[in-house]
Amino acid sequence: MRTLFNLVRPEEYGRADIDAVLELEGNAIPAEYQGHQISFELKSATSGEPDISTVRDFGLHYIEKWRTLHWLFGVYDRDSHGDLKLQYCLYASPAQMKPWFDQMSAYIAPDVALVECVPELIDMEVLTTVLGEADRFSYEDARSLMKNQYKRKQYDQAADLPDGYYSRNAMLTLLRERCRYVLHRGSTLNNPHISPRYFEGWERIERNHAARLRELVVEELQKSDSQDTSGHTSQQAKEGEAPPTSGK
């Protein structure tokens, strides 16, 4: 897809970062957008329709990361020989993806609230229930709680007693952090799909892929700039209004 749409992928971007970058340049690009770099997330479906899988452990961190990106979806199907062939592609701007992200954010909002609130409710009584009544705890005790969540350096930094031992207060902090971690894992969704219905009526890019993508991106940038300018102007007008008079 990077080749088809003439996109690049900077060497410094790792697998978990940006899939591709569109560099806006050339005579067809308006002067105000020349040199802009647009970050893209690339996804594909192989069932002949845009049933798009996302990622395991989908949570707020993905929503925050993906909201600002532009998207390309490649829809593949098998030909008479059983080989996968690209049928068409779909482009989505951040504004076009916003309703889906808003829906996902609202869906997990109660779970996220639990993640933020519940750990702070853990007190010394809960610590005693989980780890017993000892006055100090060893590295082995701490590791039995935190497991691979911590590296050895973090364990050493958390120890607040001589010889690498942990006080009850230190263990309470670890217990709250472990609770937050466990709840956070439970608040994520397992690979939610973007359904084909979401893309009903969208333009299918089937030819002149690179040129058409640039046209669509510029259209979305212009639309976004227009909305920003309109909102700013409206706010300025509102702030400059004289207070209403009573007419008396």
Q: DSSP H helical segments within 33-190, as ranges? A: 60-66, 94-117, 124-131, 139-146, 152-158, 168-186
Instruction: Specify whether 46 is located in the same domain as 94.
Output: yes
Domain assignment present for 233: no
Least confident segment among 34-43, 182-191, 213-222: 182-191
Do 62 and 76 fall into the same domain?
Answer: yes
Task: Name the residue with higher pLDDT: 236 or 23.
Answer: 23
Shared domain check, 102 and 86? yes
Lowest-confidence segment of 3-12, 53-62, 82-91, 95-104 by average pLDDT? 3-12
Is 85's pLDDT higher than 70? Answer: yes
One domain, residues 97 and 146 = no
150/98 same-domain check? no
**The domain spanning residue 57 has which CATH number?**
3.40.210.10
Does residue 229 fall inside a structural domain? no
Q: Which has the minimum average pLDDT: 78-87, 100-109, 175-184, 229-238?
A: 229-238
pLDDT (0 to 100) of residue 241 = 43
* 39 within domain boundaries: yes
Q: Which domain holds residue 202?
A: 20-107+190-223
Determine the 3-state secondary structure of 167 from DSSP.
Answer: strand
From 8-12, 34-38, 104-108, 119-123, the region with the lowest mean pLDDT? 8-12
Contact in structure between 59 and 188 (CB atoms under 8 Å): yes
pLDDT tier at 185, thresholds 50, 70, 90? confident
**In this model, does residue 9 exceed pLDDT 90?**
no
State residue 195's pLDDT score: 96
Q: Classify residue 232: in a domain, yes or no.
A: no
Share of residues in the chain with pLDDT > 90 (%): 79
Mean pLDDT of 179-185: 90
Q: Does residue 25 fall inside a structural domain?
A: yes
- 9, part of any domain: no
- Give domain status of residue 15, yes or no: no
- The stretch 130-145 carries a mean pLDDT of 96
237-to-224, 225, 232, 234 alpha-carbon distances in Å: 20, 18, 9, 5
